[in-house]
Amino acid sequence: MEALIALSIGVLTACGVYLALRGRTFPMVLGLTFLSYAVNLFLFSMGRLGIGQPPVIRAAATAYADPVPQALVLTAIVIGFAMTAFVIVLALKARAELGNDHVDGLDES
């Protein structure tokens, strides 16, 4: 299972990097979104993987997942959301100010 998760993180990162390196704002934003997924999963996996043992205190439970990475990821998700929202709006602003959606404001095509 760990290999699957590592692979997924790797694929998400690779896709994110490739898209973030594109020259237009929209694919770039998609790339950043991918990176955000990858990073969240990565951070989450730092607490190792466990099935069926959520960190909610119950009388019957014997083992719990580590709550710390989960709390960190939650923070990271929300911050990532704020950043994504900002960069999306900025892309629009750039489109309006620069006249095209190239990340450098130059229309090469």
Partner 1 sequence: MNHLAIAPLLLPLLAGILLLLIRHRGIFPRRLLSVAAVLGQIGLALLLTGALSGGDILVYHLGNWPAPFGIVLVADALAAWMLLATALLALFALLYACQGGDARGRHFHVLFQLQLFGLNGAFLTGDLFNLFVFFEVLLLASYGLILHGGGRARVRAGLHYVVLNLAGSALFLIAVGTLFGVFGTLNMADLARKVASTPPSELGLARAAGLLLFAVFALKAALLPLYLWLPAAYAHTSAPVAALFAIMTKVGVYAIVRVYSLIFGAEAGPLAHLIEPWLLPMALATLLVGMLGVLAATALRRQVAYLVIASVGSLLTAFALDSVAGIAAGLYYLPHSVFAAAALFLLADVIARRRGATADHLESAPAIAQAALLGGLFFVATMQMIGLPPLSGFLGKFLLLRAALAHPAAAWVMAAVLLGGLMGMIALARSGSVLFFRTLPAMDQEGRSDTPVPSPPTPLMKPLPFGTPGGEGSVLPVAAALVPVVGLLLLGLLMTIFAGPIQAHVASIAEQLSRPYLYVHAVLGVRP
Partner 2 sequence: MLTLVIPIAFALLGAAVALSVWRLLRGPSAPDRILALDTLYVNTIALLVLLGIHLGSALYFEAALLIAMMGFVGTVALCKYLLRGDIIE
Partner 3 sequence: MNLLLAVLTPFLGAILVAWVSRFGRSHAAWAAGGVALAALVWLLPLVSAPFAGATLVQRIAWMPAAGLDLAFRLDGLGLLFAGLILGIGLLVILYARYYLSERDSMGRLYAYLLLFMGAMLGVVLSENLIQLLMFWELTSLSSFLLIAYWREREQARQGARMALAVTGAGGLALLGGILLLGEITGSYELSVVLASGDVIRAHPLYLPTLVLVLLGAFTKSAQFPFHFWLPHAMAAPTPVSAYLHSATMVKAGVFLLARLFPALSGTPEWTWLVGGVGLLTLLIGAFTALFKHDLKGLLAYSTISHLGLITLLFGIGTPLAAVAGVFHIINHAIFKASLFMAAGIIDHETGTRDMRRINGLWQFMPYTATLAMVAAAAMAGVPLVNGFLSKEMFFAEAVGMATQMRLGWLLPVAVTVAGIFAVAYSLRFVHDVFFNGQPIDLPRTPHEPPRWMKVPVEVLVLLCLLVGIFPAQTVEPILAVAAASVLQGPLPRHDLAIWHGFSPALWMSVIALVGGVLLYGARRPLYAWHARYEEYLDARLVYDALLRALLAFARGVTRLFDAGSLQRMLFLFLSFALLLGWIGWRGGAAALTGPRALLPVDGVSLLAACALIAASIAVVALHRRRFTALVLIGVVGLVVSLIFVKFSAPDLALTQLSVEVVTVVLLLLALYFLPQHTPAESHPMRRSRDAVLSLLVGGGVGALAWAVLTRPYTSMGDYFLANSVSGGGGGNVVNVILVDFRGFDTLGEITVLALAGLAIYAMLEKLRLDGPLNDAEGRAWNRDMHPAIMASFTRLLLPLALLVSLFILLRGHNQPGGGFIAGLVTAVALIMQYLANGVEWTHSRLPGNMHPIIATGLAIATLTGLGSLLLGYPFLTSTFGHLHWPLVGDFELASAMAFDLGVYLVVVGATLQILIHLGLLHGKTGDALTFGKGGLQ
Binding site for partner 2 (CB under 8 A): 51-52, 54, 56
Q: If binding is defined by CB under 8 A, does position 30 make contact with partner 3? A: yes
Subset of 2-21 contacting partner 3 (CB under 8 A): 2-15, 17-21
Least separation in angstroms between CB 34 and partner 3: 7
User: Measured in Å, how far apart are the chain's first and last C-alpha atoms?
Assistant: 45
- Residue type, position 71, single letter: A
Q: If binding is defined by CB under 8 A, does position 99 make contact with partner 3? A: no
Q: If binding is defined by CB under 8 A, does position 93 make contact with partner 3? A: yes
Q: How far apart are CA 80 and CA 105, in angstroms?
A: 25
Q: How far apart are CA 48 and CA 61, in angstroms?
A: 18
